[in-house]
């Protein structure tokens, strides 16, 4: 009967480990205020004092980050995927334009994570979300520890934020006003060090990269960058 005892012990240990993993990857609905009177709704994944805000692109909402959020949570990060004001249940303050002030949505997420125990907060912004994240980093340069701009960063020179920055985009990514790479590279060159620019093959834009054969590499580079040593 000894073999049965050890089998049951191993089974219980395996179930306990699976339960812990499932708990870490579980999705929790949260909301928090912004400094201009808005209320932002978000999905929380994982546990821990290292946190990441995921800021979606214009053709996505917070649930579009599901696979990436779970990968980050599995790597030990607490992850907050937000809906920008004007998306889902999220709303802004008293501005006439419902989308005005979205940089405060990013900052609200960062401050919420710090108030709930995060010691280190990074932001991954895709396309539109990356542009608002860059704006947030310039409004409060010390708020964000690390910044990832995925197919974004063409409009704001990061001349105040001192933390590490990672720009990632596809070589042939083209927007309404032409190729994105030259514009993003120009802003990358203006940004304060430390910084990295990674150009992958293909033409997929921002979060759509995860649906291509470059998706694994993009996720791997993001995890490497966010898991690097102290800022």
Q: Tens of pLDDT along 147-202?
A: 999 999 999 999 999 999 999 999 999 999 999 999 999 999 999 999 999 999 99
Side by side, which strands form the sheet with 39-45? 27-33, 39-45, 78-82, 50-55, 120-126, 146-150, 165-170, 195-200
What is the total residue count of the chain? 231
Q: Determine the topology of domain 26-226 in CATH.
A: Rossmann fold (3.40.50)
Given this model, what pLDDT does residue 25 score? 53
170 beta partners: 200
What per-residue confidence (pLDDT) applies to 17?
41
Separation of CA 29 from chain center: 17
Q: Name 169's bridge partners.
A: 199
> Residue 99's pLDDT is what?
82
Compute the distance between CA of residue 107 and CA of residue 17 in angstroms, rounded to an integer: 35
In DSSP terms, which residues pair with 80 in a beta bridge?
A: 44, 53
Q: Which residue has the tokens 């993003």?
A: 184
Task: Report H helices in the chain.
Answer: 2-25, 66-74, 102-115, 128-139, 180-190, 215-226
Answering whether pTM is above 0.75, one says yes
What pLDDT score was predicted for residue 97? 82
CA 98 vs. chain centroid, Å, equals: 22
Q: Which stretches of the chain score pLDDT less than 50? A: 1, 3-11, 13-24
Phi, psi angle pair for 15, to nearest 5°: -65, -40
Angle between helices 128-139 and 102-115 (to 10 degrees): 70
Parse the chain into domains and list their residue ranges. Answer: 26-226
Q: How far is CA 134 from CA 40, 76, 123, 166, 191, in A?
A: 18, 25, 9, 11, 11
Mapped onto helix, strand or coil, the DSSP state of residue 199 is strand
Residue pointed to by tokens 């910044």: 147
Q: What is the pLDDT of residue 95?
A: 78
């Amino acid at each position: 009967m000894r073999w049965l005892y050890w089998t049951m012990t191993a089974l219980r240990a395996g179930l306990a480990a699976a339960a812990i993993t499932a708990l870490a990857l579980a999705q929790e609905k949260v909301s928090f205020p912004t400094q201009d009177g808005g209320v932002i709704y978000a999905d929380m994944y994982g546990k821990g004092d290292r946190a990441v805000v995921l800021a979606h692109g214009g053709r996505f909402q917070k649930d579009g980050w599901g696979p990436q959020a779970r990968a980050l949570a599995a790597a030990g990060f607490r992850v907050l995927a937000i809906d920008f004001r004007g998306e889902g249940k999220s709303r802004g303050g008293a501005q006439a334009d419902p989308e005005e002030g979205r940089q405060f949505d990013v900052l609200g997420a960062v401050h919420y994570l710090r108030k709930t125990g995060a010691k280190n907060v990074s932001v991954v912004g895709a396309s539109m979300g990356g542009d608002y994240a860059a704006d947030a980093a310039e409004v409060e340069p010390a708020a964000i520890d690390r910044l990832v701009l995925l197919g974004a960063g063409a409009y704001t020179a990061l001349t105040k934020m001192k933390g590490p920055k990672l720009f990632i985009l596809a070589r042939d990514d083209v927007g309404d006003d032409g190729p994105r790479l030259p514009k993003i590279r120009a802003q990358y060159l203006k940004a304060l060090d430390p910084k990295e620019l990674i150009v992958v093959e293909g033409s997929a834009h921002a979060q759509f990269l995860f649906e291509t054969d470059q998706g694994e590499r993009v996720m791997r580079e993001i995890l490497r960058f966010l898991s690097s040593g102290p800022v």
